[in-house]
Amino acid sequence: MTEGRCVFWNAEEGWGVVVGDAGPGEVWVHFSALSVPGYRELRADERVSFRWETPRGGQDGYAHRATRVIPLDRA
């Protein structure tokens, strides 16, 4: 898992972007990859731990996509 932060989240469309502290750059995230109970969303600047992959052809203009994201700042 890579640690980083959310840089953008579009709650209306259910996707966003995270970046790792020492990782692949911008990584596309779909709400279905979030490991949280209830309504799944991130907040800008929220600390996260995530797994990512590089799909052939990228994901919606991003070279990488997250496969699992865990928010770190939540109790």
**What is the largest distance, in Å, between two alpha-carbon atoms of the chain?**
37
**CA–CA separation, 18 and 27 (whole Å):** 5
**Tokens, residue 14:** 């259910």
Which pLDDT belongs to residue 75?
57
pTM: 0.90
pLDDT digits (tens, 9 = 90+) for 8-62: 999 999 999 999 998 789 999 999 999 988 889 999 999 999 999 999 998 989 9
